[in-house]
Amino acid sequence: MSDKKIHDLVIVGAGPAALTAAIYTTREDIETVLYEKGVIGGLAAVTDLIDNYPGFAEGVHGLELAKSLKDQAERFGAVIELGEVLSIEQEGKHKKINTLFGDVYAKSVLIATGCDYKKTGVPGELVYYARGVHYCATCDGAFYRDKRLVVIGGGNSAVQESIFLTRFATHIDLLVRSTIKASDVLQKELKKFVDDGKITVHLGVTPKEIKGNQDNGVTSVVGVDNNDKEVDFPTDGVFVFIGLKPNTDFLNDSDIIKDPIGFIQTDSNLQTSMSGVFAAGDVRSGATMQIASAAGEGATAALKIREYLEGKLVNDKPAVLSLQ
């Protein structure tokens, strides 16, 4: 391995945690390469308006924030590569990162792969994916101008994106399995659109099937109410916002320990069970799932990685592991 280039740091992912970490590490002259298989900026980049990121009194568009973070990281020397990481393993003193384009080596690794949208799992969801079933209102909402839509979910994202979709759709049926769990601020905002007749909230309705045909795509969503009665909601499209799952499948065969849901466990230094491999942002067990906190964890991880590279940091083992 003596003839192979060994990076100081490889970051897996390019969302707010990853880009913030890269800003800090490159300013410390830690040579840093990021690998991103999807959208630079992560889920933040496909969020229409981020209203709670510090420093933006009127909010900031997700794409704008993502571009600013990317540009800042690159200004300090970070290199962003588009490519998928397939595995991470220890090889001697270094880490071997297997990518679609071959193996790369690093002294340290930061996993900041974030989360992806959960699926309902009902019949028709995968059949009509991108042909009437969507998970990003900012990306696909404009296709439904003057159309009727169904939104599935009852949390912050479902309510926020339902409100956003009223810019295009004539009416939205919001299907909520139990109760609305969005913040009070969003619930008050939602009430305005309910009162205006633009959104109808259906509590206690669980989706059972997404129907459609090859010619027209999605035509309706079949739900089941609390009385086990089927209810049909005619629609031109469906947007699903029922939560997130961690992007950690590529670690299934690694020694990096995850919690039962799949989030990565870390110690107080954000270091994983593999020495020299750190995790930050939404992919980490215990994360608060906020963009501001993800950025903060990225900065913290960068400082801890510097300590590790200087030989000043040991692996404490994730605290959760001591309970097993």
pLDDT in tens, 45-63: 878 788 889 999 999 998 9
- Mean pLDDT on 69-85: 97
Answer yes or no: is pLDDT of 149 > 50.
yes
Cβ neighbours of 49 (radius 10 Å): 15
The reply to whether CATH 3.50.50.60 applies to domain 6-117+244-323 is yes
Tens-digit pLDDT profile for residues 108-134: 999 999 998 899 999 999 999 888 999
DSSP assigned state of 263: P
* pLDDT given at position 299: 98
Bridge-based pairing state of the strands 244-246 and 115-117: antiparallel
Which amino acid is present at 158? Answer: A
Which amino acid is present at 14? Answer: A
- Mean pLDDT on 1-6: 73
Helix count (H) and strand count (E) of the chain?
7, 19
Q: Rounded to an integer, what distance in angstroms lies between the CA atom of residue 313 and that of residue 310?
A: 8
Cβ–Cβ under 8 Å, residues 115 and 246: yes
Q: Rounded to an integer, what distance in angstroms lies between the CA atom of residue 258 and that of residue 248?
A: 9
DSSP assigned state of 166: T
Answer yes or no: is pLDDT of 289 > 90.
no
What's the token pair of residue 28? 């410390």
Percent of the chain with pLDDT over 70: 96
For residue 122, give the H/E element and its range.
none
What's the token pair of residue 239? 């947007």
Q: Rounded to an integer, what distance in angstroms lies between the CA atom of residue 255 and that of residue 251?
A: 8
* pLDDT given at position 3: 67
Sequence-ordered alpha helix ranges (H) in 110-197: 137-140, 156-165, 184-195
Classify residue 70 by burial, with Cβ atoms within 10 Å: 0-12, 13-18, 19+.
buried
Cβ–Cβ under 8 Å, residues 79 and 73: no
Band (pLDDT 50/70/90 cuts) for residue 9 is very high
Band (pLDDT 50/70/90 cuts) for residue 138 is confident
CATH 3.50.50.60 domain span(s) along the chain: 6-117+244-323, 133-240
DSSP assigned state of 236: S
- Mean pLDDT on 251-260: 92
Q: Rounded to an integer, what distance in angstroms lies between the CA atom of residue 293 and that of residue 153?
A: 24
- Give the mean pLDDT of the chain: 93
- Partners of 172 in the beta sheet? 149, 199
Classify residue 259 by burial, with Cβ atoms within 10 Å: 0-12, 13-18, 19+.
middle
Answer yes or no: is pLDDT of 320 > 60.
no
Q: Rounded to an integer, what distance in angstroms lies between the CA atom of residue 254 and that of residue 265?
A: 13
Band (pLDDT 50/70/90 cuts) for residue 322 is very low
Band (pLDDT 50/70/90 cuts) for residue 324 is very low
* pLDDT given at position 130: 82
Instruction: Identify the CATH homologous superfamily for domain 133-240.
Output: FAD/NAD(P)-binding domain (3.50.50.60)
Band (pLDDT 50/70/90 cuts) for residue 323 is very low
- Mean pLDDT on 271-300: 95
Percent of the chain with pLDDT over 90: 82
- Mean pLDDT on 26-44: 94
Cβ–Cβ under 8 Å, residues 53 and 60: yes
- Mean pLDDT on 291-311: 96
* pLDDT given at position 86: 96
Classify residue 53 by burial, with Cβ atoms within 10 Å: 0-12, 13-18, 19+.
middle
Band (pLDDT 50/70/90 cuts) for residue 317 is low
> Shortest CA distance to 169 belongs to which of 161, 158, 180?
161
The model's pTM is: 0.77
* pLDDT given at position 2: 54
Concatenated DSSP letters for 4-38? S-EEEEEEE--SHHHHHHHHHHHHTT--EEEEESS
* pLDDT given at position 214: 85
Answer yes or no: is pLDDT of 321 > 60.
no
* pLDDT given at position 243: 87
* pLDDT given at position 17: 97
Cβ neighbours of 84 (radius 10 Å): 14
What's the token pair of residue 138? 């900012």
Highest mean pLDDT among 136-145, 205-214, 312-321: 205-214
